[in-house]
Chains A and B, each alone.
Chain A
Amino acid sequence: MKAPHLAGCPEYLELSRRQFLGVTGGLTALATAAPAWLPRVAFARHDCTGRDTIVSIFLRGASDGLTVCVPHAEDAYYTARPTLAIPRPDSGDPDQAIDLDGFFGLPPAMAPLVEAYDAGHLAIVHACGSHHPTRSHFDAQRFMEVGIPGELSTATGWLGRHLLTSAPTDPEALVRAIGIGYALARTLAGGPATLPVPDPTDFGLTGPAGTEADRLQALADLYAQAQEPLKSAAGNTMSTIALLEAIDFAGYQPAGGAVYPQSDLGRALRSTAALIKAEVGVEAVAIDVGGWDTHDQQGPIDGTLAGLMADLAAGLSAFHADVFADTTNLTLVAMSEFGRRLGENGSLGTDHGHGNAMLVMGDSIQGGQVLADWPGLQAEELFEERDLAVTIDYRDVLAEIVELRLMNPDLAGVFPGHTPIFHGITRPCPS
């Protein structure tokens, strides 16, 4: 099924909705155990004005949720990971976990996030993920980004479909969403006025300066007659060149004393912050962070995983200090395709697992909590006797954000075949 490459024409919205709803036949068995008639947990309908901008971060390679959010109250965790476990918060070990709520804690590498957690802006959802059993990175990433477990034919992403089924926040917006990278993250696939941008600070035409405008026009003319998807890609590119040239990235001063790390993630978040504050109508940004597939020498205290977590925490805390100081209409999520094995392997690493920890940050997020329907880590409580189970479908978390913070009630369009349960990740708005 071809992904619809649209410019937002109304007639195509109907067509695309039929297309991706059509694939749900046979997939209803994938829906969560909750029966279809069960109403969503009722929260007061939000009376919030303004829709959030959303930043979706994908940690590629299967992040180790049991390190990102340490279940320090579980003895089984320490039994299964004699080398890799983060010491208990009360152990006196210099590398001990930072307690969050008496059961879970943060590893030392993620200490910079304590501030956002204590401010009530950061929540962690644990034992979270997809119920699909695959341990293939590539399939699991695809299913998670498409938002339909097991679905191989649909090419649109959940966030792309959200954009398709909602009107732009700014009718004049030239660009509604960007994915920072060389190829558009599947999360955003199908989104109108959406394109990949490897580096927002450097997005213009090269060549002789005197003929730049003429050559750009020549390209616009050539591509106006091209077949899709090249035609739309070129159109989006033209819009984005104009848009980004008008933003002073070089002169951007982060607020709140925020210092972004000198990493790809740090630069991506800094550019995202500048883009959001410029208020040019960009509603969604997708960012990828690779390297999380720690099969070997995982190093949760001072190795590979520690470095990844430190970078993530530094980036997110800088973003928090920078953007949340000025902006309240913003939600950020960080997810990964699945978690990692409870037991450590022979290479001082972990193999592919199942349940994971998801990070959610926002002014109207019910932060300061680790939200979990914790299944436990005894052998009979594990998924396939190996892995942390999934008790909260990640689509529940995203659906709650889509409806209550992105103001899109069309959850059947964004997550076809799924009846979400809201777990209270968002704060009720003042009425």
Chain B
Amino acid sequence: MGTRATRPHRRQHLQPHSASRADSRQLTRRDLLFGRRQAAVGRACRPLPPAPRDPTPGTHQAAARRITDYTVAERNLVQRVTMGLTVEELERVRQLGIEGYVEYHLDYESIDDSELEAMLAGYTTLSMEVHELLDQPPGGPLAELVFATILRAVYSRRQLFERAVTFWNDHFSIYIQKGATDVLKTVDDREVIRAHALGTFPDLLSASAHSPAMLYYLDNHTSVAGQPNENYARELLELHTLGADNGYSQTDVEEAARCFTGWTLHGYEAGADVGKFTFAPELHDDDFKRVLGEYIPPGGGIQDGEILLELLSAHENTAFRIACKLCHWFWGYHPPRGLVREVTDAYLTTGGDMRAMLRAVFTERWMQRARPKHKRPYHLIVSALRALGGSVTNPYGLVIPLQSTGQIPFFWVPPDGYPDELDFWSGLPLPRWNFGASLLNNELPGVSVDLEVFLAGVQTAEGVIDRIDQRLFGGALPEVDRAGLLAYLEAGVLSWERAAETVGLAVAAPSYQWY
């Protein structure tokens, strides 16, 4: 836990004025030498050549040929708002229209989620404070948090909220197996991520900076005046806000680290307050600072860090970078500049309001143009359970394929979060195939698919494929995959076993890896 070192206040840094001037000269020289792009472009939205061809050839032609109720924009929207399309969600967008559907999901607190809440009733650690969590059996809170996260993704009706939670848990990623994070992360997930996922970015950033889990994970709890620890300050600038080397220097990192000295958490001596955020003035470097061109006068105490957080939240580079990442997550790879500009403007005019930014993304025009994205393993697994109406009595059964595909929630070690890149995940299809096979062969303990319900009323091989098309693909199953699945089904005797294997192959099929 956060033991508080007692060290004398020492000044070891260079004179701030000359250091920052020298550094700004150096920064300019580095810009020239290494051809760093203008700050306005940022990292997540590098300009690229024209879009690659649709990876699901025949999708649109297929949609035109067969009778289908859903437009491309509707299907794209549902697949981006939810963790996997269902007939129910497609029907909802049909009834409410695109704008109405978006507003329905943005007003997530009005969506009745009592079924999910009943499933989570036994997960008592989710609402506990740290002092109670420390009394639990080791690993208990960790397991409940991982299990609850999976159940929420599959069963919550507040799907857009869950998509935002997944996004922010990657953006403010914390590895749950570093010492005390196995209890601290429960509080962080509740009071930082879930409290602000569809709120404002400044609120979320501030909550994260005050999060004992984050401060502990990035070693800030032992950062003291005279010998600050740079880890949190660096990742705050690099990962959480501006972006790598995108408007700050090494000196800024050091000055930022000085701002956050004393931001720590209570130890056991605080009794029931153990593990809660506290500011320790005796550990804080109270001398003046110069960070990101701003002069912070001496004696500011906790305000030094608060000022820096406000600076970062309001910074144009932060707005652009968050907008880029949101477009990448909610629209697709290489989002058009126009879209990113609209979302950036929404950030800057509303003070980083998530709902405003999402309204800019989820329009008919942008959804019409959205290009397919590759499902990460977590997304594939959750979407399959949703589409198949799977039942999960023990979420450990889903941890097994999450482990073999490499994406158990909160198990990513460095603070940059699970990547959301095609090249990262696409090289390893075998565990995805095995998930499809295992799920439909009842090999995952505590997880089951009722095939009789899924195939109710189906009498023929074609009927099986039609049902797969409707439930998993919203009517957009491409001809090539349809033919391949039908061929497999018809090669054997038409039995429940063969049908189950065919459904498993559908989960593994190329077109089901995209959304």
Contact = CB atoms under 8 A, between A and B. Distances in A.
Contact of A207 (B30, B229, B480, B501): B501
A227 B245 contact: no
A347 B233 CA distance: 14
Nearest to B53: A227
B416 interface: yes
A218 B487 contact: yes
Given A135-B250, A196-B428, A215-B504, 16 more contacts: A136-B244, A138-B238, A138-B416, A182-B406, A183-B425, A206-B438, A207-B438, A207-B443, A208-B441, A214-B488, A225-B510, A227-B57, A229-B423, A230-B510, A345-B227, A347-B223
B367 interface: no
A151 to B, nearest CB: 10
19 contacts: A60-B414, A134-B245, A136-B244, A138-B238, A139-B245, A149-B34, A153-B46, A182-B407, A195-B428, A196-B427, A207-B434, A207-B501, A230-B426, A233-B427, A290-B413, A296-B229, A346-B5, A346-B222, A349-B229
A152 B416 contact: no
Contacts of A384: 250
A346 B7 contact: yes
Given A183-B424, A227-B55, A237 B227 contact: no
B505 A230 contact: no
A148 to B, nearest CB: 11
Interface in B409-431: 413-414, 416, 419, 422-431
A207 B504 contact: yes
Contacts of B437: 205-208, 215
Interface string A159-192: 0000000000000000000000111100001000
A256 interface: no
A351 interface: yes
Contacts of B425: 183
B165 to A, nearest CB: 23
Contact of B427 (A184, A207, A227, A351): A184
Contacts of B470: none
Interface in B97-120: none
B405 interface: yes
A222 interface: yes
A291 B175 CA distance: 12
From A2, A137, A234, A347, residue with most partner B Cβ within 10 Å = A347
Contacts of A181: 406
B405 A182 contact: yes
Contacts of A138: 238, 244, 414, 416
Interface in B221-276: 222-224, 226-231, 234, 238, 244-245, 250, 253
A233 B509 contact: no
A353 to B, nearest CB: 11
A226 B484 contact: no
B364 to A, nearest CB: 26
Contact of B423 (A136, A155, A227): A155
Given A230-B55, A296-B222, A205 B406 contact: no
A33 interface: no
B222 A347 contact: yes
B456 interface: no
Nearest to A241: B430
Contacts of B513: 230
Contacts of B36: 150
A55 to B, nearest CB: 19
B7 to A, nearest CB: 6
Contact of A296 (B48, B219, B250, B424): B219
Contacts of A30: 33-34
Interface in A377-400: 384
Given A30-B34, A182-B406, A218 B428 contact: no
B491 interface: yes
Interface string B455-494: 0000000000000000000000000110011011001100
The 10 closest A-B pairs by CB, nearest first: A346-B227, A182-B406, A207-B437, A226-B510, A227-B55, A347-B222, A296-B219, A218-B488, A295-B231, A222-B484
A206 B443 contact: yes
Nearest to B425: A183
A215 B505 contact: yes
A262 interface: no
Interface of A: 1-3, 26-27, 29-30, 60-61, 132-139, 149-150, 152-153, 155, 181-184, 189, 195-196, 198, 203, 205-208, 211, 214-215, 218-219, 221-223, 225-227, 229-231, 233-234, 236-237, 241, 290-291, 293, 295-296, 344-347, 349, 351-352, 384
Contacts of B231: 293, 295-296, 351
A229 B422 contact: yes
Given A2-B52, A183-B406, A229-B422, A349 B487 contact: no
Interface string B29-59: 0100111100000010010110011111100
A219 B488 CA distance: 10
Nearest to A134: B245
B132 interface: no
A205 B433 contact: yes
Interface string B181-223: 0000000000000000000000000000000000000110011
A132 B219 contact: no
B394 to A, nearest CB: 19
Nearest to A222: B484
Interface in B372-427: 404-407, 413-414, 416, 419, 422-427
B342 interface: no
Contacts of B5: 346-347
Nearest to B58: A225
A389 B501 CA distance: 59
Nearest to A237: B430
B508 interface: yes
B46 A152 contact: yes
B371 to A, nearest CB: 12
B501 to A, nearest CB: 6
Given A134-B244, A223-B510, A226-B55, A233 B438 contact: no
B310 interface: no
Contacts of A60: 414
Nearest to B283: A346
B69 interface: no
B497 interface: yes
B426 A26 contact: no
A229 B510 contact: no
Nearest to A226: B510
A340 B431 CA distance: 37
B433 to A, nearest CB: 6
A96 to B, nearest CB: 26
Given A198-B404, A221-B484, A346-B5, A295 B229 contact: yes
Contacts of B46: 152-153
Tell which of B218, B219, B441 has the most Cβ of chain A within 10 Å: B219
Contacts of B501: 207-208, 211, 215
B429 A237 contact: yes
A374 to B, nearest CB: 24
Nearest to A150: B34
B510 A222 contact: yes
A229 B429 CA distance: 11
Contacts of B427: 183-184, 195-196, 229, 233, 236
A314 B51 CA distance: 48
A302 B431 CA distance: 38
Contacts of A296: 219, 222, 229, 231
A116 B440 CA distance: 51
Nearest to A25: B35
B322 to A, nearest CB: 17
A203 B434 CA distance: 10
B480 A225 contact: yes
